[in-house]
Chain A
Amino acid sequence: MDYLATEYLRSRKIPSTACSGCGLGQCHKALVKAIDGVGLTVSDIVWGTSIGCAGRQTFATWKGDSFAGTHGRVYAIARGLRLALPPEKRIVLTVGDGDAFGIGFNHLLHAVRTNAQMTIMVCDNLGYQSTGGQFGWTTPPGVVTDSSPYGMFEPNWVQPERDVLRILKEAGATFLARHVSMDGASLVESLTKALQNNGLSLVHVVYPCTTNFGKNALGTRKPVEIFNWIKRHAAPLGKEKEETIWRTGIYHDASNSRPEFSTLMRRKVDEIRGRYS
């Protein structure tokens, strides 16, 4: 990480203020590794974040231009920004599960519909942890949280029959993948492909929260036990077992198959301009 940190991250944001044992660092590192692997530099990327653990801990970590949007609205900001930025600039977003799949879902769907270039890493700690540990839209069934004291009984967005990635695929996303933060090389590989898509890419990454989720749902704050619990409930697509909650790997790769939002807008504007000039 030293080389990557020096090259891409702001020294004053290292170490981060994330809780001890938090898996966000794994997510963050995988993304920076993928960026490095693709050969992108600090000036190639505008980095956006949002609110909550993922947003706040990753804001201003990127050495280049960065912003943090209001909760769930970052996809709308990014679409506007996409129109104004030169096409070669890339937008990378690190957001939380509540941000993407709850409060921001409508904006996310419309960003997906228009295939606006942004590489979104949804860092999912399985609920609202920075507000103390309430359930979220991917909290596994039966799990006890501060706002589901009788166990999570609402349907969630990762159950096979309503997998959020399937919804996003139908909405027109051009690259979709899911991982857990311990996936290492395969996570970096998915993020690499996500970055190579000139369109909307979303990589959903489940990571451990030791402070709230571990304590409430698993009765432990020991990182190793929480890491192992998450790993045990993850399996690559096609190799699912009964206990599998998260099906990992690339869900959908239609990279560079649809016009990108700002490219389409520019092309149309040029056409119209030509017609009337």
Chain B
Amino acid sequence: MKRYLETGNFGVAQAAVMAGCRVFCGYPITPATEIAEAMSGLLPRVGGFYVQTEDETAAMHMAIGAALGGMKAMTATSGPGFILYADPYGWAIGCEIPLVVLNSQRVGPVSGITGAPGQGEFYLSRYVTQGGNFETIVLAPNSAQEAFFLTIEAFYLSERFRTPVTVLADQLITDGWEDLSIPETDEEKQAMGLRFAERKAHPGPQFYPPTDEIDIPPVVLGKDTGALCSDWTPTEEGYDIETVEAQHKHAYRLIYKIRNHRDLITRHESLFLDDDPKIIAVAFGTPSRVVKTAVKKARAQGKKIGMIRPISLWPFPDELFKRNATYLSVELNYDGQMVREIQRAAPRESSVHFFGKCGELPTVAELSQIFDDLLQGKPPRRRGWETEAW
């Protein structure tokens, strides 16, 4: 095990190379640029390629091209680039191309604040392209160490599910300096729970079976399999077809290969849920660290407060919200995004509240105040321009 004081960007690049990524295509953007820079240094030393592209659209398309040729590929960006991935992301979902996409969220809308953390792409990471009829896999780290772990996991899941996987980070994770352990031996990798999947190639001719099966090798071009892939609705062999029945079969596969195997994806962290806490604070990514501190502090004061941190965001872990409780969603946005999913997933008798900040983390004092208010049955206090509605 090698220990570093390093950034999440460094951890992501190390993980990608360890997972077998040999092509990185990217367009510089704060706060994900350092991943590109790190890959430009690391990849040639292991026989891989770094390509700086003309724009984000090209970055993801080019990564898809490399993946289609049989290489493990990755791209990384921030919100303004991630929205440009909508076009190729759809292609990769439809053609079932394994790929890893990292989005380090900053403050929006649009270019917003480049050097501060945000969580404005919670929904965008779910509805990442046009047309619907798909599910996505999104993993959200809350530290440099977890960014390392989840990048490797993203490569693993992308191969098994034949789909692009998003690692949804934020500026504090990718830019922040932290203690980071990188395993060196197989034993260390195993002890850390790292999982790896080899790239395989589908032999054809049924490249797009209308089933929910996973572990089907992806389409790889150049292997003389007669492989076909396109952005149109495919027949099982990959031909372009315009029938509702074929679209139904394809959509079924894209949705249920993920939904029906969600146990392989779902992971979360929870705290103090054993004694039916009255309040459950929910957060993902960096703010979850402050929330954790605030919850621990409240517990030390004898207050029955628990916490859930979804690590896999999509498919949304509805099963974590079965308890009848008062939920508080703490997010780095002002509009409230995850809160709506909690509201949908929680029992009807539950009450669901939202506390949003953006560009800066909530403080333990702010959260403690909200916990006290909620314990007294009062909604969270709002600053002048805030409302509870979302």
**A222 close to B (CB within 8 Å):** no
B53 lies within 8 A of A110 (CB)? yes
CB within 8 A of A272: which of B23, B44, B73, B226?
A: B44
Contacts of A42 in B (CB 8 A): 224
A70 lies within 8 A of B61 (CB)? yes
Contacts of A137 in B (CB 8 A): none
Contacts of B71 in A (CB 8 A): 83-84
Given the complex of chains A and B, what is the CA–CA distance between A106 and B49 in angstroms? 21
B91 lies within 8 A of A69 (CB)? yes
CB of A63 to closest CB in B, whole Å: 7
CB within 8 A of A77: which of B46, B64, B228?
A: B64
Given the complex of chains A and B, what is the CA–CA distance between A65 and B229 in angstroms? 9
Given the complex of chains A and B, what is the CA–CA distance between A268 and B55 in angstroms? 23
CB within 8 A of B65: which of A64, A68, A82, A273?
A: A82
CB of A168 to closest CB in B, whole Å: 15
CB of B148 to closest CB in A, whole Å: 22
Contacts of A51 in B (CB 8 A): 231
**A4 close to B (CB within 8 Å):** no
**B239 close to A (CB within 8 Å):** yes
CB of B103 to closest CB in A, whole Å: 19
CB of A40 to closest CB in B, whole Å: 13
Given the complex of chains A and B, what is the CA–CA distance between A68 and B223 in angstroms? 17
Q: Tell me which residues from 243 to 277 in chain A have a Cβ below 8 Å from any Cβ of chain B.
A: 265, 268-269, 272-273, 276-277
**A78 close to B (CB within 8 Å):** yes
CB within 8 A of A89: which of B73, B95, B222?
A: B222
**B238 close to A (CB within 8 Å):** yes
B227 lies within 8 A of A80 (CB)? no
Given the complex of chains A and B, what is the CA–CA distance between A45 and B137 in angstroms? 34
Given the complex of chains A and B, what is the CA–CA distance between A43 and B226 in angstroms? 9
**A73 close to B (CB within 8 Å):** yes
A77 lies within 8 A of B62 (CB)? yes
B47 lies within 8 A of A65 (CB)? no
Task: Tell me if B's interface is mostly helix, strand, loop or mixed.
Answer: mixed
A66 lies within 8 A of B65 (CB)? no
B58 lies within 8 A of A76 (CB)? yes
CB within 8 A of A80: which of B46, B73, B87, B224?
A: B73
A269 lies within 8 A of B48 (CB)? yes
Given the complex of chains A and B, what is the CA–CA distance between A64 and B238 in angstroms? 12
CB of B172 to closest CB in A, whole Å: 31
B231 lies within 8 A of A276 (CB)? no
B58 lies within 8 A of A107 (CB)? yes
Contacts of A73 in B (CB 8 A): 57-58, 61, 87-88, 91
**B352 close to A (CB within 8 Å):** no
**B230 close to A (CB within 8 Å):** yes
**A46 close to B (CB within 8 Å):** yes
B224 lies within 8 A of A81 (CB)? no
A79 lies within 8 A of B51 (CB)? yes
Given the complex of chains A and B, what is the CA–CA distance between A277 and B65 in angstroms? 28
A83 lies within 8 A of B223 (CB)? no
Q: Tell me which residues from 152 to 182 in chain B have a Cβ below 8 Å from any Cβ of chain A.
A: none
Contacts of B43 in A (CB 8 A): 269
> Chain B: which residue is nearest A78 at the CB level?
B65
Contacts of B48 in A (CB 8 A): 269
A268 lies within 8 A of B44 (CB)? yes
> Chain A: which residue is nearest B61 at the CB level?
A76
A86 lies within 8 A of B228 (CB)? no
CB of A21 to closest CB in B, whole Å: 22
B54 lies within 8 A of A70 (CB)? no
CB of A241 to closest CB in B, whole Å: 39
CB of B386 to closest CB in A, whole Å: 40
CB of B32 to closest CB in A, whole Å: 19
> Chain B: which residue is nearest A12 at the CB level?
B239
Also in contact, A85 and B221, with CB within 8 A (given A60-B240, A70-B231): yes
Q: Tell me which residues from 226 to 246 in chain B have a Cβ below 8 Å from any Cβ of chain A.
A: 226-232, 238-240
> Chain A: which residue is nearest B230 at the CB level?
A68
Contacts of A82 in B (CB 8 A): 65, 69
Also in contact, A69 and B47, with CB within 8 A (given A80-B23, A85-B221): no
Known: A76-B54, A80-B61, A84-B65. 16 other contacts (CB 8 A): A59-B228, A60-B230, A64-B224, A67-B227, A67-B228, A68-B231, A69-B231, A70-B87, A70-B90, A73-B87, A76-B61, A77-B65, A79-B51, A84-B71, A85-B69, A109-B54
CB-defined A-B contacts under 8 Å, sample of 8? A60-B230, A63-B226, A66-B221, A76-B65, A83-B51, A84-B65, A84-B70, A106-B55
